[in-house]
Each structure stands twice: as structure tokens, then as C-alpha cells.
Amino acid sequence: MSVWFITGVSNGFGLLLCLKALKANHRVVGTVRSKAKSADAVKRIESAGGQVIELDLNESRENLTRKVKAVGQIDYLVNNAGFLILGAVEQMSVELTSRSEREAHLQLQTNFFGPLYVIQAALEGMRVRRSGVIVSMSSLAAKEYVPTTGLYSASKAALEAMSESLAAEITEFGVSVLIVEPGSFRTNFLAALNQSTMPLPEDYQDTTVTRTRDVLLTKSGKQPGDPQKGVDRIFETLTGEGLAGHLKGKILRLVLGRDALVRIRKVNDKFLEDLALAEDVTVSTDL
């Protein structure tokens, strides 16, 4: 039996992973922002033997630290909670205004700083025990940068970069990291997205920004990825069982979904093409 700490278990990947780990007789502590608002999920988790606490990734570092430390030993830390603020880079507010929050900050706070503080709080115990696994739920968006999701991509790319450095720092302590990059999965994710409350300058009408946004807003409920299969593969990769079990300890990144595979390959091909095209220029600057 291991102890799993999973953020964002009110829905989607988090809820399914919680139930999966409980079914395998692990101890699970999950987090939701509001137990009252997520009463159904809380009931399902608790009746399967799990525990749920309230935690908002936008809380202070002190609060997050206190809540994570209170759990005690954690074997699997799954930074799953996250959300998307949709908007053009120019539009996204960075100042506190009467009309809106600092949207760019909230996006980074929730998807990057919150998880960072949670990791920092859990790491001491793992380091001292010389065991533990940290899972960072990233996204295809950390690899493929498209209009209207720039700040979300920034938050996930930051999470990935930090997680990869972290993996190198803690491997000698017997603690490992798994970065998960899902494509588009049929969870509550797109229904829960927030659109920027700041006005989009008139110039952007009928540009790729409005077109991409409008297409994205029709995708909820039509995503190709099955969250249960996604969670099964994550669980197997972590525990060494089943279809993906052979990947345990062998990979740093787990890409999930055919859409993600195709699109990440395309991004990488373009990167290699640019590298090759500019090679003479690249090597022309050494002393």
C-alpha cells in the first residue's frame, strides 16, 4: 500500500485516478476547492475509502505547505489540478482592475506556482525516505503553441521545465518525476475554461485569434481522448502493471492520445528543420 496525494479530484483525470488507486487498495488523499460544490465526487471518493481535503492552488504558499505537510508520508504526489484562461496575449490582464483579476498571474499561480509550492512541501519527506514519485500533469500545450492559449502554454511549459530540472536534482535521492502530456481528453476541462474578461482589441476581429477561439469553444464534449484510458496508462506507468507497466522508471514524459503524438511530432520536425536550416549561422558565432 502506498499513499497518493492527488490535486483536483472533483472531476476528470483527478477523480478517475483517485478511484483507480483506491480500487488497488492504496491510501488516497485528494483535494478539491470546495467540498460543498463537489459533493458527488467527495462522496464517491469517501465511500471508496479515500479522504478529501479543501485546497485552492491560488492559496498562499504557507497555506499550501501546511496542508501538504498535514498529510504525512506521500509516496505519489500527483499535481493534476489546473485550468485554462482563454485569451490573446495582448488582451490578458496583468494589473488588478475593477473589471478583472490579474488573469496572467492567476494562470501561472494555479498551474505553476501552486504545484511548485506543493512539490516543495512534499519533497523533504520523499528525500529523507529516499523514495517517492512526483507526477506533473502537463499538456500538449506545453509543446505546441497556438493562438489564444499562450498563458496556459506558458504555465505548462514552466511546469515541465521545472519538473525536468527537478528530476535531475532528486534522482540521487531515489525520488523520480513523471511528466504527463495529454492531448485533448473528454473531461470537464473545456467546460470549466475561463475566457479573459478584458476586451479584445477590434483589430483582432476575424483573425486567427477569434477563429481559433471560436473553434475551441465548440470542442467541449467532442474531445477524442478517453480519460479512463488515460488514467489507466498513467497508473500503469507509475506502478509497473498492465499495458504501460514496462515503461515504469524508463521514461520522463508520457504522451497520451494520438492527437498529441501527431502534433508533438510535427512541432519537433519543424524544430529540427529550423536547426538544420540555420546550422551554418548557429555555429558562426563562437569565439
Ligand X SMILES: *[C@@H]1O[C@H](CO)[C@@H](O)[C@H](O)[C@H]1NC(C)=O
Ligand Y SMILES: NC(=O)c1ccc[n+]([C@@H]2O[C@H](COP(=O)([O-])OP(=O)(O)OC[C@H]3O[C@@H](n4cnc5c(N)ncnc54)[C@H](OP(=O)(O)O)[C@@H]3O)[C@@H](O)[C@H]2O)c1
Active site residue ranges? 138, 152, 156
In the chain, the amino acid numbered 34 is S
Nearer to ligand Y, 11 or 93 (CB): 11
162 exposure class (CB count in 10 Å sphere: 0-12, 13-18, 19+): middle
Q: Name the residue with cell 496556459.
A: 152
Please list, in sequence order, all residues whose beta carbon lies within 8 angstroms of the beta carbon of residue 264, skipping any fewer than 6 positions away: 140, 143, 144, 181, 255
Nearer to ligand Y, 61 or 127 (CB): 61
| 63 interacts with, out of ligand X, ligand Y, none, CB within 5 to 8 A per kind | ligand X
Query: In what order do the strands lie in the sheet containing 27-32?
Result: 51-54, 27-32, 3-6, 76-79, 132-137, 175-182, 253-256
Which of these segments, 134-142, 160-168, 202-210, 266-274, binds ligand Y (CB under 6 A)? 134-142
Among 3, 44, 58, 147, binds ligand X (CB under 6 A): 58
3-state SS, 189-217, equals CCCCCEECCCCCCHHHCCCHHHHHHHHHC
- Rounded to whole angstroms, the Cα distance separating 39 from 78 reads 21
Among 51, 65, 83, 167, binds ligand Y (CB under 6 A): 83
Q: Is 100 in the site for ligand X (CB under 6 A)?
A: no
Q: Is 33 in the site for ligand Y (CB under 6 A)?
A: yes
| 155 interacts with, out of ligand X, ligand Y, none, CB within 5 to 8 A per kind | none
Q: Is 60 in the site for ligand X (CB under 6 A)?
A: yes
7 close to 55: Cβ distance less than 8 angstroms: yes
Neighbours of 212 (CB within 10 A): 16
Among 39, 40, 48, 63, binds ligand X (CB under 6 A): 63
| 82 interacts with, out of ligand X, ligand Y, none, CB within 5 to 8 A per kind | ligand Y
Helix 12-23 vs helix 39-47: angle between axes, to the nearest 10 degrees?
10
6 close to 14: Cβ distance less than 8 angstroms: yes
Q: Is 59 in the site for ligand X (CB under 6 A)?
A: yes
Q: Is 34 in the site for ligand X (CB under 6 A)?
A: no
Nearer to ligand Y, 150 or 182 (CB): 182
Among 188, 194, 220, 228, binds ligand X (CB under 6 A): 194
Q: Is 132 in the site for ligand Y (CB under 6 A)?
A: no
Q: Is 268 in the site for ligand X (CB under 6 A)?
A: no
- Contact characters 213-252, ligand Y, x per CB under 6 A: ----------x-----------------------------
Helical H segments across 109-257, by residue range: 114-129, 150-170, 208-216, 227-239
Q: Name the residue with cell 460543498.
A: 36
Length of the chain: 287
Residues that bind ligand Y (CB under 6 A): 7-14, 32-33, 38, 56-58, 80-83, 110, 137, 139-140, 182, 184-185, 187-189, 192, 223
Residues that bind ligand X (CB under 6 A): 58-60, 63, 101, 106, 192, 194
